[in-house]
């Protein structure tokens, strides 16, 4: 792949910072390789951590511009190694991976309906001191009549190593064509540890007591308060593209996480 116009973006300053590694790297790379607005670019080079990459994927999703990340954050699971030299050559040799986000449709107690996309996961969490009570259905069939829990989430393969893994959910290899349905601190049924579902499955989560046991839903970083029902399904009409160095592709990283000590 050859890219004529490169946009170089960095995680914004926060908490009173006057400068960051990401901002310094952006100025250095822009001076060396040029820089155009992301709306005009053939490729976006994102400097920061995984959280910033997630925001950038949402920003370019409608345009389909591929993103090549370099780690100037903490974990950097979705990022390549940062190096100043050879950026043009690395972009030309990079391997592309397309991600398929989840589409969340949240119906709220007040009648509002909100739709959002999620690259990593859609999660529901209790908003009061009381545990949530939810009913889980898959493709119109009730699979759990009632679960008492702190919440529940649906994760993509790309997001299975994030919040899903912290909630003791399974790591899902890219290309497996499955989604992880994972409970968060389930009290009843105690022995249910979640399910792996076909990527084409339609998942419905109904909040059984949405007034006294209020629940909020989040698609990546967009939160919807006071939901009564949430539907989740993979949206294959949208396919943001990530670029990786051949020796550090995302599929290999996800696979290696299953053998991490």
**Residue 142 backbone dihedrals phi, psi, to 5 degrees:** -70, 125
Determine whether 245 is an active site residue: no
Torsion sign (Cα): 210, 213, 214, 216: negative
Query: Which residues have C-beta within 8 Å of that of residue 93, sequence separation ≥ 6?
Result: 245, 246
Cβ proximity of 34 and 60 under 8 Å: no
Cβ proximity of 67 and 240 under 8 Å: yes
The one catalytic residue among 50, 59, 150, 209: 50
- Residue 233 falls in which region: left (phi positive, over 0), alpha (psi -120 to 50) or beta: beta
Quote the Cα angle for 232-233-235, to 5°. Answer: 130
Catalytic residue numbers read 50
């Amino acid at each position: 792949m050859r890219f004529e116009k490169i946009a170089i973006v960095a995680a914004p300053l926060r908490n009173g910072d006057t400068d960051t590694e990401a901002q310094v790297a952006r100025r250095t790379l822009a001076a060396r390789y040029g820089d155009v607005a992301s709306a005009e670019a053939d490729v976006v080079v994102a400097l920061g951590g995984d959280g910033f990459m997630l925001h950038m994927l949402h920003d370019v999703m409608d345009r389909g511009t591929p993103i090549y990340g370099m780690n100037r954050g903490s974990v950097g699971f979705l990022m390549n190694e940062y190096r100043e030299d050879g950026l043009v050559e690395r972009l030309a040799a990079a391997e592309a991976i397309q991600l398929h986000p989840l589409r969340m449709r949240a119906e709220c107690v007040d009648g509002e309906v909100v739709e959002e996309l999620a690259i990593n996961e859609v999660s529901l969490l209790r908003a009061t001191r009381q545990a949530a009570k939810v009913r889980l259905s898959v493709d119109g069939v009730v699979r759990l009549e009632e679960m008492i829990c702190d919440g529940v989430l649906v994760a993509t393969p790309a997001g299975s190593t994030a919040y899903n893994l912290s909630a003791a959910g399974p790591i899902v290899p890219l290309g497996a064509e499955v989604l992880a349905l994972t409970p968060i601190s389930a009290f009843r049924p105690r022995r249910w540890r979640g399910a792996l579902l076909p990527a084409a499955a339609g998942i419905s989560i109904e909040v059984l007591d949405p007034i006294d046991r209020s629940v909020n839903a989040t698609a990546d970083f967009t939160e919807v308060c006071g939901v009564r029902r949430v539907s989740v399904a993979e949206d294959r009409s949208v396919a943001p593209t990530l670029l990786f160095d051949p020796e550090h592709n995302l599929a290999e990283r996800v696979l290696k996480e299953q053998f991490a000590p």
